[in-house]
Structure 1
Amino acid sequence: MKIAIMTDSNSGITAQEAQQLGVTLLPMPIQIDGQMYLEGIDLFPPEFYARLAQGADVSTSQPSPADTLELWDKLLEEYDQLVYIPMSSGLSGTAATAASLACDDPYEGRVFVADNKRISAPQRQSVLDALALRERGKSGAEIKQRLEAASLHSQIYIMVDTLHYLKKGGRITPTAALLGSALNLKPILQLQAGKLDAYKKVRGTKAAKAELVHALEAKLPCLEGEGKLIVQTAYSGSDELGAEWNEFVQQAFPQFQVYSTVLPMSIACHTGPGALGVACVRELPID
């Protein structure tokens, strides 16, 4: 049985990496000043952050059902089954829309939407797990079940460098943003059970970095599962910032090989540039 693996650009997987892995990538739509772009197709980080700095009105939306089905139809001409791994249903309606589409003919029993509550680097790991499961001969239904059963075996913490974008998106009040900026507060968010929530507020970037590492250290022993633990970093903005952050985390966790990725634009449009993230995830044991 030939099984295709598909994900979206929220995984941090680039078009080039998707081609190398043999994975199909659905680009996420980003709207800037009323014009729609596709992440990694006609919109890339340098232009995205330049437009943010210019004060552009930036928002995200779901991929259209037509674009999703077009990819499915193309893949099902060559493959018997398809496993689609979208971003967490707690952050977008993308997974729910796809699951609904998969219930109709001719997709029922051939397309399996695995909602395992992840985004960014942990979502990327889900794709790698799916590829490994496929190599061991697992069916689309089995891969979906294994991924969803491990949905809580990951954790993300993100520090927001500026409150401007949280205020602009209506996630905090202008008064709270003004006070937070005056006190140099750096909010730390967590992705828990597939949803992004407040975790803690820390004064200053140095303290926030230390808190991110401390939070991850405390979480590592709590992650259930038998697979290898993987530590990952993510960032928004310059690659230099990302490299410095990855080195900082690598020094804090010398027992791991720390993997770095760019935060997806769907999160970065709410955090702005300068956001730093750290994540841990368990690799699925392959039996």
Structure 2
Amino acid sequence: MSEYIVTCCSTADMPLEFFKARNVPFVCFHFIMDGMEYEDDLGQSMAFDEFYKRISDGAQPTTSQVNVGQFNDLFEGFLKEGKDILHISLSSGLSGTYGSACAARDVLLEKYPDRKILVVDSLAASSGYGLLVDAACDLRDSGLNIEQVYDYLQENKLYDHHWFFSTDLTSYYRGGRISAAANLFGTMLNICPLLNVNQEGRLIPREKIRGKKKVIEEIVKKMELNAKDGLDYSGKCFISNSSCYEDARKVADLVESRFPKLDGKVMINSIGTVIGSHTGPGTVALFFFGNKRTD
């Protein structure tokens, strides 16, 4: 039995079975939709199809980060069992939750001075965050101690690549990230923005590409250009999507055809309700390990 536990947030956007199989407890963000509050609990409280249909029908969900009390509740049970904790947090460039986890750590270490709570700012999101959690679990299971895994994550988290494209601009307009004119003309011209996450863990628009077929080709080209060892990349590759599985499948098929040494098949997950509150439906995100992320 491991002497420490790896924990994370629900916004790692991995299947519930993943967290169970890898023994990773997680804390849930929350979202409010149509006046009701729900947990971001991997589609259990609200199925992903229903969530994205409601957005398409006009709902505008809002989200709330994990607070200090929730982290206290998550951490303290393991501390009482005599376990140390390695918590991997959603990017501080997207949420203040990393600060909440650190605040809970500081309070609890006064109460449990013989224990360790190490908190990593993943600078990652969705299944790219999940890719980092998965790597931490591999290292834990190989016998590395908590400090060794923490050091690895700190040294390697910026090699975790995130590339996204969206075929539906509605949520970007509703959230104030693009103007009404940009939404109108972008939709008319079939513009699909291509974005990535930079070294500060922030989502950055990179290119405006016309047409779904072309943006699918372009996102895979980004992997060709940036993946570790290029077309000989032998790591894992994850994809997450918001109610556009067919588009995600096309990206996965293209990746699998061009990277024959992948570690297993591409895993396709759903973008969860918190990340999806900001992207809306129609987003595909591609994650892999590669060269170091820069601005």
The answer to whether the superposition gives a TM-score over 0.5 is: yes
CA pair 42-102 structure 1, distance change in 2 beyond 3 A: same
CA contact (8 A) 1:10 1:120 kept: yes
- Matched AA of 1:123: Y
Instruction: Please give the alpha-carbon distance, in whole angstroms, between the structure 2 residues aligned to 1:122 and 1:44.
Output: 22
CA pair 198-30 structure 1, distance change in 2 beyond 3 A: same
Instruction: Please give the alpha-carbon distance, in whole angstroms, between the structure 2 residues aligned to 1:268 and 1:201.
Output: 21
Instruction: Please give the alpha-carbon distance, in whole angstroms, between the structure 1 residues aligned to 2:151 and 2:237.
Output: 24
Match of 1:106 in 2: 111
TM-score (norm 1): 0.88
CA contact (8 A) 1:122 1:281 kept: no
Instruction: Please give the alpha-carbon distance, in whole angstroms, between the structure 2 residues aligned to 1:216 and 1:244.
Output: 15
Shift of 1:199: 0.9
Please tell me whether residue 119 in structure 1 is matched to residue 122 in structure 2.
no
CA contact (8 A) 1:15 1:25 kept: no
CA contact (8 A) 2:67 2:97 kept: no
Secondary structure of 1:152's counterpart equals helix
Match of 1:188 in 2: 194
- Give the counterpart of 2:146 among 140, 164, 178: 140
Please tell me whether residue 159 in structure 1 is matched to residue 160 in structure 2.
no
Match of 1:72 in 2: 75
- Matched AA of 1:21: R
Secondary structure of 1:229's counterpart equals coil
Instruction: Please give the alpha-carbon distance, in whole angstroms, between the structure 2 residues aligned to 1:184 and 1:239.
Output: 19
CA pair 233-56 structure 1, distance change in 2 beyond 3 A: same
Secondary structure of 1:43's counterpart equals coil
Please tell me whether residue 10 in structure 1 is matched to residue 8 in structure 2.
no
Shift of 1:248: 3.2
- Give the counterpart of 1:203 among 196, 199, 210: 210
Output the aligned Cα RMSD. Answer: 2.2
Please tell me whether residue 272 in structure 1 is matched to residue 276 in structure 2.
no
Shift of 1:126: 2.0
Match of 2:85 in 1: 82
Please tell me whether residue 263 in structure 1 is matched to residue 263 in structure 2.
no
CA contact (8 A) 2:164 2:196 kept: yes
Match of 1:61 in 2: 64
Secondary structure of 1:151's counterpart equals helix
Match of 1:233 in 2: 239
- Give the counterpart of 1:91 among 66, 89, 94: 94
Instruction: Please give the alpha-carbon distance, in whole angstroms, between the structure 1 residues aligned to 2:226 and 2:189.
Output: 28
Instruction: Please give the alpha-carbon distance, in whole angstroms, between the structure 1 residues aligned to 2:157 and 2:80.
Output: 30
1:22-41 to 2 correspondences below 5 Å = 22-40=23-41, 41=44
Instruction: Please give the alpha-carbon distance, in whole angstroms, between the structure 2 residues aligned to 1:55 and 1:115.
Output: 34
Shift of 1:122: 2.6
Instruction: Please give the alpha-carbon distance, in whole angstroms, between the structure 1 residues aligned to 2:242 and 2:205.
Output: 18
Match of 2:293 in 1: none
CA contact (8 A) 2:4 2:146 kept: yes
CA pair 63-277 structure 1, distance change in 2 beyond 3 A: same
Shift of 1:228: 4.9
CA contact (8 A) 2:31 2:40 kept: yes
- Give the counterpart of 2:260 among 244, 250, 254: 254
Larger displacement relative to structure 2 (113-122 or 170-179) = 113-122
Shift of 1:94: 0.7
CA contact (8 A) 1:81 1:111 kept: yes
- Matched AA of 1:101: A
Shift of 1:137: 4.1
Secondary structure of 1:189's counterpart equals strand
Instruction: Please give the alpha-carbon distance, in whole angstroms, between the structure 1 residues aligned to 2:16 and 2:82.
Output: 20
CA contact (8 A) 2:66 2:100 kept: no
Instruction: Please give the alpha-carbon distance, in whole angstroms, between the structure 1 residues aligned to 2:229 and 2:170.
Output: 33
- Matched AA of 1:43: M
Q: How many residues align?
A: 279
TM-score (norm 2): 0.86
Structure 1 unaligned residues grouped into runs of 5+: 283-287
Please tell me whether residue 174 in structure 1 is matched to residue 180 in structure 2.
yes
Amino-acid identity (%): 25
- Matched AA of 1:153: Y
Structure 2 unaligned residues grouped into runs of 5+: 291-295
CA pair 187-78 structure 1, distance change in 2 beyond 3 A: same
Instruction: Please give the alpha-carbon distance, in whole angstroms, between the structure 1 residues aligned to 2:62 and 2:13.
Output: 18
